[in-house]
Structure 1
Amino acid sequence: MWHMPLEEALLRARIRRLTRRSRLRPSNRRLPRQFRRSTDPREVTPARTAQLIITAFGVALVAGTVLLLLPGARTGEGGATVLEAVFTATSAICVTGLVVVDTPTYWTPFGQAVILALIQIGGFGVMSFTTVLGILLARRLGLKARILSSAETKHPGYGDMRRVLLRILATTAVIEVAVAAALALRFHAGYDYGVGRAVWHGVFHAVSAFNNAGFALYSLSIMDFAADPWINLPLIVAVVLGGLGFPVLYQLRKEWRLPRRWTLNTRLVLFASPILLLGGTVFLCAVEWSSPTTLGPMGTGEKLLAGFFQSTVARTAGFNSIDVSAMHPVSWLGLDILMLIGGGPAGTAGGLKVTTFAVLGYIAFTEITGGSAVNVLGKRLPRSVQRQAITVVVLAVGAVVTGTMALMLMHEDLGLDRVLFEAVSAFATVGLSTGITAELSGPGQLVLVALMFLGRLGPVTVATATAYRHRRLLYELPEERPLIG
């Protein structure tokens, strides 16, 4: 049933009284423009917004694939194969970082520029569209809900999409330019790169880091710089800022001294992110500290830096400063969890988002303690948000399990731990790999392509389809409780 805001309902009632007196037929044209009920099939609804996002990514994917198929995009004679181009374009537009060919040696500077453009489009597109999606959904709320939303965000201009997009663009540009400058200076001063090469490497890795893509211009990713904090720390800053999400960055810029005004989204992201970063660092250092193939040969400071870097990029950048393929299977399982959780919503990070898992944690805590309502940091959580979080997680787990089983059927010799790691990395758009991506068969690589696309757009479209879609029933079925557990 369609529910109109109170102000609109009162205005319509007044018009009906007036038209009844004058025996005129009421018309939408008599209403102010903001209160007219649209009959235009092109109206931007949440479901149509999801379709537009998928279509836009599909068009960008096709365009990127065509460009990578050009002979000038590949070193040597001839062009790339269709599968190589499709996989690389998908990994770039979905800001994942998984590769089937060596980026610095296989692709020419033109091909690398195409990859960089796809990364920027994918990262900015997802961040901007998810933010705009929230605005569109807020506009569909009633008057009371909109007032409450505006009061909570402390942002009266929340509906100005143009201003929001410009802020996202400005935020992206400032962070990427700053990180690129820091990296370029280090490459030039510390590694004797020429100015042009230093700037190119700085820009490429800054864009890749902020957009949480994980593409690198080195065959061993960042392993050659594992002990260099002047390379690691700027990349960490870019990954973290991109992973926090634009709503959090904007509110911190405006109200970083006023935590009491922070929205629940900002509080959850800032509460969960440090725990995951530090927890992942402690976990990886504890497991890999004495391993001769990973952290063992390093000094204490280098081990802590490498552990912190790997914990950071697991959510969800895809760089690696140590050999992931040589890690202990327990480390792979821990990274699976970090990758699946991901970063903050409405940002460049992938995964299911820290807010989703925080909501699940609070739901479980409430059930265990016997609470009647799920309260999160001083706010009561709507039941629709609870159902939404459970739906997204269940569908995501189903996609990962299905992809893992499909890969296992095709490659029984690779083992469950490696295949599961690859599937989670693809779905969470991380890009970390145990080294088996290029070894997969064509159908196996297409499975990863599907997982990357689903992982990047799936949670957004599911959230769009379920948010604010209420249907009031005129009856209820009798209640009965099945046995749980």
Structure 2
Amino acid sequence: MSFLVLIALGALLLWLPISSHGGLAFSEALFTACSAVTVTGLVVVDTGSALTLFGQIVVLVLIHLGGLGLMTFAALTVMALGVRFGLRGQHLVREAMNQTSPGDMLTLVRQVALLAFTLEALGTVLMAVVWVPEMGFWEGLWFSFFHAVSAFNNAGFGLRADSLSAWAGHPLINLVITALFIVGGLGFTVLMDLRRHRRFSALNLHSKLTLSGTAILALGAWLLIMLFEWQNPHTLGSLPTGERPWAAWFTAVTPRTAGFNTVDTAGLIVPSTLLIILLMFIGAGSNSTASGIKVSTFMVILLATRSFLLGRPQPSAFRRTVALDVVFRANSVVVLSLMMVLLGTFLLVVFEPRLQLLDLVFEGFSAFGTVGLSRGITGELSLPGQMVLMVLMFTGRIGPLALAFSLARPRRRRVRYVEELVQVG
């Protein structure tokens, strides 16, 4: 409900004449607000040229509220006012932040907010070194701040129509932007665990799976993108040789739901496009500013498959056993996510018969993973097509399992039935 309210308020603010040059249709304002709150980055109007400074500030506020969560900011506001935060309030914050331990939620909220604001400020300063000399002080500073917030929150909103293509080979911009959305996508649980222990061996199993899965996916995708796109004149092949590894790295890690691009996404060859679709579906870490089925879910599915093939009763990793309840939950997340994104893609194909199938599939997975990458068709979609994307963005950000729980009201059965074998495979 908080996300729906934010989207509605954001749409009304963006619909105001002060928010844009020439005015936005309400459908455009609604789509932009939904994309910002769900930290997706898909746009039907160019953020930098169509929106005024006020409109850009509205988008940035929506990104922050959507990325860190409304409950986080509500808790911060209550603490700033000196109001006592009761047990019920802490329970709501714990649920909103997907925490299971009964620790002090207010301390966690303060740490999360401090970490986010510190990293965004650091990213702003580092990128201002490049952009202030190029654009002037105020414009360069705003450009740096906007992209730092957008990157950390994995939003993918940019102030240029070509995203960050002008800096495809710039080492500092590549490193800062990717570091921000990778850290933001690890998840606050992992970041707090790293802060407490600092050694990989001392981390909990969730943190180990998230960190190892992130590293494997990032490095593997980097090598594959370089292999597929090195000679492609529409992407890496158009860049000097020294800039190609940087552009390949950015292209490989941005599908974790960041949404920025330094090469033309529509110019990618089919193998690279399919790889990015898979990466967008996996997404980043749980309890982070990113979406997708989550890296930890993907790792649990792989471990469960390995355990079944080896004839083991339960999956294990790093000398720890994964609970069967977690395996069932991971399977449910994957199945519900696939059903949702395939249904959305099917509807896109029905509503947009003039567009290419691969482009529509890419758009559907990008919306559900709240990535924001596009092959250039978002602005060409009809109103029904845009509504499908908004539903996919909302579902992807909330999480299909959480949404199903809230709608279905599951109850524990008191009757246990006789087991019977079913043939599968």
Give the partner amino acid of 1:415: Q
* Displacement after TM superposition at 1:476 (Å): 3.0
* Displacement after TM superposition at 1:297 (Å): 2.1
Alignment of 1:428-443 (within 5 A): 428-443=369-384
What does residue 228 of structure 2 align with?
287
**Structure 1 residue 207 corresponds to structure 2 residue 149:** yes
- Match of 2:362, SS state, is helix
Distance 1:463 1:167 in 2: 30
Structure 1: 5+ residue runs without aligned partners? Answer: 1-54, 140-157
What does residue 144 of structure 1 align with?
none
* Displacement after TM superposition at 1:285 (Å): 1.2
What does residue 97 of structure 1 align with?
41
**Structure 1 residue 178 corresponds to structure 2 residue 178:** no
8 Å CA contact 1:180, 1:203 repeated in 2: yes
**Alpha-carbon spacing, 1:185–1:136, altered in 2? closer, same or farther (3 Å):** closer
Q: Which runs of 4+ in 1 moved over 4 A?
A: 126-131, 134-137, 462-466
Give the partner amino acid of 2:161: S
**Alpha-carbon spacing, 1:182–1:136, altered in 2? closer, same or farther (3 Å):** closer
Deviations 1:64-108 (A, max 9, x none): 0000000011113xx210110000000000000000111111111
Alignment of 1:228-377 (within 5 A): 228-257=170-199, 259-377=200-318
**Structure 1 residue 166 corresponds to structure 2 residue 110:** yes
What does residue 137 of structure 2 align with?
195
Alignment of 1:111-126 (within 5 A): 111-125=55-69
Alignment of 1:454-469 (within 5 A): 454-459=395-400, 461-462=402-403
8 Å CA contact 1:211, 1:242 repeated in 2: yes
Distance 1:187 1:460 in 2: 41
Q: In terms of Rg, which structure is larger?
A: 1
Alignment of 1:44-63 (within 5 A): 55-63=1-9
8 Å CA contact 1:95, 1:211 repeated in 2: yes
**Structure 1 residue 427 corresponds to structure 2 residue 368:** yes
8 Å CA contact 1:98, 1:432 repeated in 2: yes
How high is the TM-score relative to the length of structure 1? 0.80
**Alpha-carbon spacing, 1:127–1:288, altered in 2? closer, same or farther (3 Å):** farther
**Alpha-carbon spacing, 1:218–1:411, altered in 2? closer, same or farther (3 Å):** same
8 Å CA contact 1:135, 1:161 repeated in 2: no
Structure 2: 5+ residue runs without aligned partners? Answer: 74-91
**Structure 1 residue 380 corresponds to structure 2 residue 321:** yes
Distance 1:179 1:464 in 2: 37
- Match of 1:314, SS state, is helix
**Alpha-carbon spacing, 1:463–1:378, altered in 2? closer, same or farther (3 Å):** farther
**Alpha-carbon spacing, 1:223–1:197, altered in 2? closer, same or farther (3 Å):** same
* Displacement after TM superposition at 1:463 (Å): 8.3
Distance 1:245 1:334 in 2: 23
How high is the TM-score relative to the length of structure 2? 0.91
- Percent identity of paired positions between Structure 1 and Structure 2: 40
Give the partner amino acid of 2:417: L
Distance 1:472 1:397 in 2: 27
* Displacement after TM superposition at 1:477 (Å): 2.2
Report the number of matched residues.
406
What does residue 224 of structure 1 align with?
166
* Counterpart pick for 1:482 among 406, 415, 422: 422
Deviations 1:212-238 (A, max 9, x none): 000001110000110111211110110
**Alpha-carbon spacing, 1:436–1:221, altered in 2? closer, same or farther (3 Å):** same
- Match of 1:268, SS state, is helix
Distance 2:420 2:70 in 1: 42
* Displacement after TM superposition at 1:260 (Å): 2.8
* Displacement after TM superposition at 1:185 (Å): 1.7
Distance 1:317 1:363 in 2: 28
Give the partner amino acid of 1:285: M
Give the partner amino acid of 1:66: L
**Structure 1 residue 133 corresponds to structure 2 residue 114:** no
Deviations 1:338-387 (A, max 9, x none): 00101111111111100001010011111111111222321121121111
Give the partner amino acid of 2:25: T
8 Å CA contact 1:388, 1:463 repeated in 2: no
* Displacement after TM superposition at 1:300 (Å): 2.8
What does residue 411 of structure 1 align with?
352
